[in-house]
Amino acid sequence: MMRKWTVALLVGVVAAALVSVPAMSQMTAGQRQLMAKRAAQADAYRQLGEEIKGLQISSDTYVRDYVAESDQISTELDAFIKGLKMKGRPRYLDDGSCEVEVQVTLSQLIQALKTIQHKYPSGKVIEFDQMVKFTKKSVITATGIGVAPGEEPAAAKETGATSGRYKPWAGVPGWENVTTQGRLLAQRAALTDARRNLAETVKGLRITSNTYVRDFVVESDVIQTDLDAFIKGIKQVGGYRYEPNLIVECDVEVMIQKVIKELTKIRQQMITRGHNWHRVEFQDVNFEKIVGWGPKKVIKANGTGTVRPDGIKKGAASTGAASSAPSAPAWAADVVTATGTGIVKEGEPPTLGRLNAERAAELDAKRNLTEKIYGVHITATTTVKDYVTEHDEVSTDVKQFLAGASRVGEPRYNDDGSVEVTMQLPLEGLAKLVK
C-alpha cells in the first residue's frame, strides 16, 4: 500500500512539474514583471540583512554577534527586514530586469532590536542605543536586482543588431548562453572587486615617510566602517567589458582630493566623538601631505567578475561556457585559500591590539596565499613564479591581482591569544593575465 502511495505521489509531482513548465513560458508581461519584482525584493532584503548584521553595537560587539545567540533572534530579525517597505516604485529596465530599493532608519532598527531583546531575553542587557556612536548613517539602504524565472525576457534574447540598443555582450562568444540574472550578478561581482582593489590602493597611500593610510584605519573599527562606506559609494566609470571566457570587467576611480577630504572628515568626526587616539599624530595630521608623496590626481582600479554556474541557461552549460573559453586552463576555475596567524601583543589597548593582530594575520595569510599562487603550474614545467620572472611587464599586474585577495568569514581568536585570518583568491583573473 505504501509503495503504491509513493508511486502515485511521484507521478503527481512529475505531472505538476510538466504542467508548470509551459505555464512559466506563457507568463504575461505583467506576471513577468511581478516575478522580477519579487526576485529583486528578495535580493534587496538579503543585502540589507548583510549590512545590518555588520553594524557595530559596542566597541567589540556587532549585530551579527547578537543574532548568533539564538535561532529565534535570527528569525525575528529576518522577519523584521522582510517586512520593510520599498522605497519608491520598482524600476523596470530594458533588459527585462527589475531594481528595487528598500531602506530602514537606524532608529527603526534600534527599536526592532530592543523589541526582540525584550521578547527573547538572553540573560545580558545590550545597550542598542549606543549604535548611533558607531554608525554615521541614519538611513541604511540596499538595492536588489531580479529577473523573472524561466525563459529569458524578450529584451534579453535580442542581439545588438535587432534591438536597436547597444548591448556590449551581444556577439561575444558564450554570453548568449548567460541568463540576465547571471550577467547582472557577474557585473556586481566585478564592481565589488574593483572597489575592493581601490580600497587597497587608498590604504596604501603614504601620509609621512613611515605612516600610511592603513595605519590610520586600524585606529578604530569606526574609521574602518566609515572608509568602507565611502569606498562603496564610489561610482563606476565607463561601461562593463565582456570577455569570451565569461569574465566581465569594470573600472572605478576617485580624485585624490576627494579621498583627502573624506579622511579629514572622518578624523574630525573621531575628535568630536572623543576618540582616545592610540597614535597622537593622527589627531593633528594634515592629510594634504599625501599629495607630496607623488600619487596620481586620480586613483583608478579594475575589477573582474565571472558568471556563476547557475547563471548559464539550462541545456547550454556544455556548449556555452565550455566552448566559449576552450583555451582556459583547468585551474582557472579554482579558488586558492590560505590562513595566516597574528598575536595580540601584551600591554596594548584591547581594540588596538585586536586590530593589529588581525592585520598581522591578514598579512601572513597574504604571504602564504602568494606562495601558493606562485606555485600554480601554467604548464607541466612552468609555474606562475617562473612566468613572472620571465615577463617583467606582467609583474605589476600579478601584484595587483594578489592585492585583490579577500577575507573568508570572520577572524578566529584562539585560547593562546593568537588570531587566524583566512584569505582567498579566485584564479580566473590570473588565467587572463598569463593568457
DSSP 171-188: TSTTGGGB-HHHHHHHHH
User: Can you tell me the distance from the alpha carbon of 311 to that of 186, in angstroms, rounded to the nearest whole number?
Assistant: 9
User: Model confidence at 435, in pLDDT bands (50, 70, 90)?
Assistant: low
What mean pLDDT is predicted for residues 241-249?
86
How many percent of the chain have pLDDT more than 70?
A: 82
**Distances 263 to 202, 211, 267, 276, 366 between C-alpha atoms, Å:** 10, 14, 6, 17, 26
Give me the pLDDT at residue 210, please: 81
User: Model confidence at 160, in pLDDT bands (50, 70, 90)?
Assistant: very low
Instruction: Select the more confidently predicted residue: 167 or 239.
Output: 239
User: Can you tell me the distance from the alpha carbon of 259 to that of 257, in angstroms, rounded to the nearest whole number?
Assistant: 5
Residue 391 has pLDDT above 90, yes or no: no
> What are the pLDDT digits (tens) for 90-105?
888 766 778 888 999 9
The cell numbers describing 141, all together, are 539602504
What mean pLDDT is predicted for residues 305-327?
61
Give me the pLDDT at residue 392, please: 63
> What are the pLDDT digits (tens) for 52-85?
888 888 877 888 888 888 889 989 999 999 999 8
User: Can you tell me the distance from the alpha carbon of 285 to that of 264, in angstroms, rounded to the nearest whole number?
Assistant: 9
CB-CB contact of 312 with 339 (8 Å): no
User: Can you tell me the distance from the alpha carbon of 428 to that of 408, in angstroms, rounded to the nearest whole number?
Assistant: 18
User: Can you tell me the distance from the alpha carbon of 178 to that of 120, in angstroms, rounded to the nearest whole number?
Assistant: 45
Write out the H or E segment, with its range, that includes residue 45: helix 29-53
Residue 239 has pLDDT above 60, yes or no: yes
Give me the pLDDT at residue 54, please: 82
Least confident of 1-5, 221-225, 242-246, 250-254: 1-5
Residue 330 has pLDDT above 60, yes or no: yes
Q: Are strands 335-343 and 418-426 parallel, antiparallel or unpaired?
A: antiparallel
Residue 217 has pLDDT above 80, yes or no: yes
Residue 282 has pLDDT above 60, yes or no: yes
List CB contacts of 268: < 8 A, sequence separation 6 or more. none
Residue 254 has pLDDT above 80, yes or no: yes
User: Model confidence at 12, in pLDDT bands (50, 70, 90)?
Assistant: low
Instruction: Select the more confidently predicted residue: 315 or 237.
Output: 237
> What are the pLDDT digits (tens) for 350-373?
766 777 788 888 888 888 888 888
Q: Are strands 236-242 and 335-343 parallel, antiparallel or unpaired?
A: unpaired
Give me the pLDDT at residue 19, please: 42
The model carries a pTM of: 0.50
Closest to 56 measured CA to CA, from 105, 102, 106: 106
Mean pLDDT, the chain, whole residue set: 78
Q: Count of alpha carbons within 13 Å of 282, Cβ hemisphere only?
A: 24
Give me the pLDDT at residue 309, please: 77
Within 285-394, residue ranges assigned H as helices are 321-324, 350-374, 384-390
In a 3-state reduction of DSSP, which class is residue 150?
coil
> What are the pLDDT digits (tens) for 21-41?
444 446 677 888 888 888 888
CB-CB contact of 242 with 172 (8 Å): yes
User: Model confidence at 305, in pLDDT bands (50, 70, 90)?
Assistant: confident
Residue 113 has pLDDT above 90, yes or no: yes
In a 3-state reduction of DSSP, which class is residue 218?
coil
> What are the pLDDT digits (tens) for 167-216?
788 888 888 888 877 888 888 888 888 888 888 889 888 898 888 898 89
